[in-house]
């Protein structure tokens, strides 16, 4: 028998120290930690590379799918998932018609959004579910406090083979509205669970973890707080006499999925590990009760109104990461859902994004494809560790309810959200088409509601103005009763889009341009060819973010020639693009001849900065500029 030979065995093994020594040498004096360690919003320091030895500390690597702690999921032969689309129910017959239509187009999970003011009777429910083969389709109801009455109607009139869930989370009503029913959230949960106890494949409680993500939280916060909410249900339900197996199997998680691709894969895997450990502490009669059921929804936080088709790229990678992580079901929101009623086209694209992943990319054929990846396994472990720390912090505060009432949850999420907002303004967190590489020719002509650019109560109602530290008024009924009537017991979470502030600034320019000439930023390119081209390209992108017209140029021989061209073009802003050495002479000359136009230097010529400011040059744009602050200032100078 011939001896087994391994690929590359002729090469000697390289130690981690040797790798690091080589990297440090190549950095030529630059700080390794600062240059190559990614410090995330999750409190995790991500290294530039990982090796097999980094897996040695992980004790779950040898488990198979369906084995505790279920990091690899609960499917042995496939990675199948439900493709879900939600339908707003204003007319039950029309909603049924749409459901039957999209079921023929690849959907196998339906979410029926039933407004709180609308009563779902036996007749309405029969109409809604007509001709839908229940055992083959997952049915999810988003009915808020109406879920209790709906549960009774379902229990009396629907086949026990019903598969699905309620998007019912009375505890998280506290986070949405700042209030909840006075008799306690557990009583509502108990009533719904007992009403539907004959439905073995239906989960009455859905933890709205996506609310944290859409308020700007980190991945660790979304996971840690969601687990804290779920644990509060487990504690309350078991104390009320409901067996831990039944309590655990009544709970479903709903997470948002953002653009942090590998982190999102790891989040789903970490969620299964932690939930399994939590449920195990309740001594369930069946270990399968420790398996998490996870629904993922593409994030609202990272979606844009400008260059909206980029949203399709965002939702595609989001769907990929959640599915590779092993979610049970997935909703891809239409690319335009953040700013208008989705169209037939946008809904079709959203459906097909998942269908392509299943039918053509075969994402359903491989269980836990991330298993064994040095990078993803370490991310999974790091996220689990940090989320567990946060979970324990919440428990020490008395649980989620107590922590939220004390404002600790809001305070922590706001801190992360503010940092992310600053990172967007400084372009450390990129929004393609918004704060990086905007479409120069794009302009929004139609009137947009100002609420599109504002933070909202998580209940999503445009009429909801919750500021519990001031005047609190609410006139809304969005899927659940909003009790925000100046008697709030906590400040509700505010959801928003990370791009909103910059888009509001750009929209302000678009509105101004309807009655006035669109402001022009003119690139006065002169001197060093390489530097002027690079800086002109940077400056064009910079000013286009605010919706300004930009004009690049091949180059001018003299300042006088450039000034003449700028004035002929009607420039409101003249951007000097050259090298640092040449700015000492060129920038003051441009300023002296610019007239009413605002003079801006592209770059940060540190050595001569004071001299330039002394000559009247006060505006500089560069990689470290606060984009939002700078452009808002230019708008003011131009009278916008």
CATH of 82-402, one of 3.30.479.30, 3.30.365.10, 3.20.20.240, 3.40.190.10: 3.20.20.240
Whole-number Å distance between alpha carbons of 259 and 312 = 12
Chain mean pLDDT for the chain: 92
Residue 10 predicted with pLDDT over 90: no
Query: What are the φ and ψ backbone dihedral angles of 139, each rounded to 5 degrees?
Result: -115, 125
* pLDDT at residue 114, as a whole number: 92
Structure tokens at 589: 């000359």
Centre a 10 Å sphere on the Cβ of residue 465 and count the other Cβ atoms it contains. 16
Please give the pLDDT value at position 22. 92
Confidence of residue 420 (pLDDT cuts 50, 70, 90): very high
Average of per-residue pLDDT across 73-90: 93
- pTM for the full model? 0.92
- Average pLDDT score over residue span 404-410: 95
Domain boundaries, the chain: 16-49, 82-402, 517-637
**What pLDDT score does 135 carry?**
87
DSSP 608: G
State which CATH number among 3.40.50.2300, 3.40.190.150, 3.40.50.280, 3.30.300.30 fits the domain covering 517-637.
3.40.50.280
Measured distance CA(249)–CA(242) in Å, rounded: 11
For range 21-36, the mean pLDDT: 91
pLDDT on residue 2? 63
pLDDT at 469 over 50: no
Q: Which two tokens stand for residue 79?
A: 């990675």
> Which of 316-325, 401-410, 455-464, 469-478 shows the lowest per-residue confidence on average (mean pLDDT)?
469-478
Q: Which of 591, 522, 526, 523 is nearest to 556 (CA)?
A: 526
Output the pLDDT for position 458. 56
Please tell me which residue, 148 or 380, carries the higher pLDDT value: 380
pLDDT at 214 over 70: yes
CA–CA separation, 612 vs 581, rounded Å?
12
What are the DSSP calls for 108-154, one per residue? -EEEEE--TTS---HHHHHHHHTT--GGGSEEEEE-GGGHHHHHHHH
437-453: average pLDDT: 92
Checking if the pLDDT of 181 tops 70, the result is no
pLDDT band at 183 (very low <50, low <70, confident <90, very high): low
User: Per-residue pLDDT averaged across 500-518, rounded?
Assistant: 97
What integer pLDDT is reported at residue 480 of this predicted model?
Answer: 39
The tens digit of pLDDT for each residue in 545-582 reads 999 999 999 999 999 999 999 999 999 999 999 999 99
Fill in the DSSP letter of residue 429. S
Q: What are phi and psi of 297, to 5 degrees?
A: -130, 135
Please report the pLDDT score of residue 466 as a whole number.
Answer: 46
**Of all residues in the chain, what percent carry a pLDDT higher than 70?**
94
- For residue 292, the model assigns a pLDDT of 97
Residue 473 has pLDDT above 50, yes or no: no
pLDDT of residue 11: 84
Looking at residues 330-356, what average pLDDT do you find? 97
Residue 170 has pLDDT above 80, yes or no: yes
Q: Which residue stretches of 143-287 are H helix?
A: 147-157, 172-177, 185-195, 210-213, 219-239, 244-249, 261-280
Q: φ, ψ for residue 465 (rounded to 5)?
A: -120, 85
Q: What is the pLDDT of residues 239-297, one digit of tens each?
A: 999 999 999 999 999 999 999 999 999 999 999 999 999 999 999 999 999 999 999 99
Neighbouring C-beta atoms of residue 338, cutoff 10 Å = 21
- Is 67's pLDDT higher than 80? yes
Q: Quote helix, strand, coil % in the chain, to nearest 5.
A: 45, 15, 40
What is the tens place of the pLDDT at every residue in 574-606? 999 999 999 999 999 999 999 999 999 999 999
Asked whether this chain's domains 82-402 and 517-637 adopt the same fold, the reply is: no
Tokens of 563: 């000034």
On the question of pLDDT at 456 being above 90, the answer is: no
| N- to C-terminal Cα separation, the chain | 82
pLDDT bracket for residue 465 (50, 70, 90): very low
């Amino acid at each position: 028998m011939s001896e087994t030979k391994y690929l590359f065995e002729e090469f000697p093994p390289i130690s981690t120290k040797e790798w690091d020594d080589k990297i440090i040498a190549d950095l030529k004096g630059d700080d390794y930690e600062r240059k190559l360690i990614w410090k995330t919003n999750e409190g995790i320091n991500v290294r530039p590379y990982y090796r097999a030895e980094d897996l040695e500390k992980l004790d779950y690597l040898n488990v198979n799918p369906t084995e505790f702690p279920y990091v690899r999921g609960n499917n042995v032969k496939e990675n199948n998932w439900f493709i879900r689309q939600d339908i707003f129910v204003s007319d039950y017959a029309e909603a049924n018609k749409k459901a039957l239509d999209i079921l023929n187009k690849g959907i196998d999970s339906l979410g029926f959004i039933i407004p709180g003011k609308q009563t779902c009777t036996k007749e309405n429910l029969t109409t809604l579910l007509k001709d839908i083969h229940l055992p083959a389709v997952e049915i999810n109801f988003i009915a808020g406090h109406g879920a209790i009455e709906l549960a009774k109607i379902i229990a009396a009139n629907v086949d026990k083979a019903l598969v699905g869930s309620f998007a019912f989370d009375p505890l998280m009503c506290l986070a949405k509205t700042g209030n909840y029913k006075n008799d306690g959230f557990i009583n509502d949960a108990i009533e719904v669970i007992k009403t539907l106890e004959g439905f073995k494949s239906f989960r009455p409680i859905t933890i709205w973890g996506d609310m944290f993500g859409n308020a700007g939280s980190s991945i660790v916060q979304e996971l840690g707080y969601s687990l804290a909410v779920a644990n509060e249900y487990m504690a309350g339900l078991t104390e009320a006499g409901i067996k831990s197996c039944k309590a655990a199997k009544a709970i479903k998680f709903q997470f948002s999925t953002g653009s942090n691709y590998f982190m999102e894969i790891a989040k789903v895997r970490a969620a299964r590990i932690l939930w399994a450990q939590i449920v195990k502490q309740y001594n369930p009669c069946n270990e399968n009760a420790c398996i998490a059921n996870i629904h993922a929804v593409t994030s609202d936080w990272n979606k844009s109104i400008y260059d909206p088709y980029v949203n399709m790229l965002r939702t595609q990678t989001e769907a990929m990461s959640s599915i590779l992580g092993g979610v049970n079901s997935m909703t891809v929101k239409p690319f335009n859902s953040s700013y208008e009623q989705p169209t037939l086209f946008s809904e079709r694209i959203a459906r097909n994004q998942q269908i392509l992943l299943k039918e053509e990319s075969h994402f359903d054929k491989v269980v836990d494809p991330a298993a064994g990846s040095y990078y993803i396994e370490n991310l999974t472990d790091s996220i689990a560790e940090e989320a567990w720390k946060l979970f324990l912090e919440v428990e020490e505060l008395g649980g989620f309810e107590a922590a939220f009432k004390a404002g600790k949850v809001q305070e922590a999420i706001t801190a992360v959200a503010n940092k992310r907002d600053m990172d967007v303004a400084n372009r450390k967190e990129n929004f393609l088409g918004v704060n990086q590489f905007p479409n120069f020719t794009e302009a929004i002509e139609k009137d947009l509601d100002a609420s599109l650019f504002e933070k909202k109560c998580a209940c999503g109602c445009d009429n909801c103005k919750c500021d519990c530290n001031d005047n609190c008024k609410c006139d809304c009924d969005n899927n659940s009763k909003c009790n925000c009537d100046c008697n709030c017991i906590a400040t509700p979470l505010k959801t928003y889009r990370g791009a909103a502030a910059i888009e509001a600034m750009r929209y302000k320019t678009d509105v101004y341009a309807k009655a006035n000439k669109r402001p022009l930023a003119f690139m006065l390119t002169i001197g060093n060819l390489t530097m002027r081209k690079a800086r002109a390209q940077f400056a064009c992108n910079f000013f286009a973010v605010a919706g300004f017209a930009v004009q690049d140029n091949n180059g001018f021989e003299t300042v006088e020639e450039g000034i003449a061209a700028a004035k002929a073009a009607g420039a409101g802003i003249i951007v000097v693009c050259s090298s640092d050495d040449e700015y000492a002479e060129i920038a003051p000359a441009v300023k002296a001849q610019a007239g009413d136009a605002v003079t801006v230097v592209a770059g940060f010529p540190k050595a001569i900065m004071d001299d330039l400011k002394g000559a009247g040059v006060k505006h500089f744009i560069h990689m470290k500029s606060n984009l939002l602050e700078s452009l808002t200032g230019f708008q003011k100078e131009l009278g916008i």
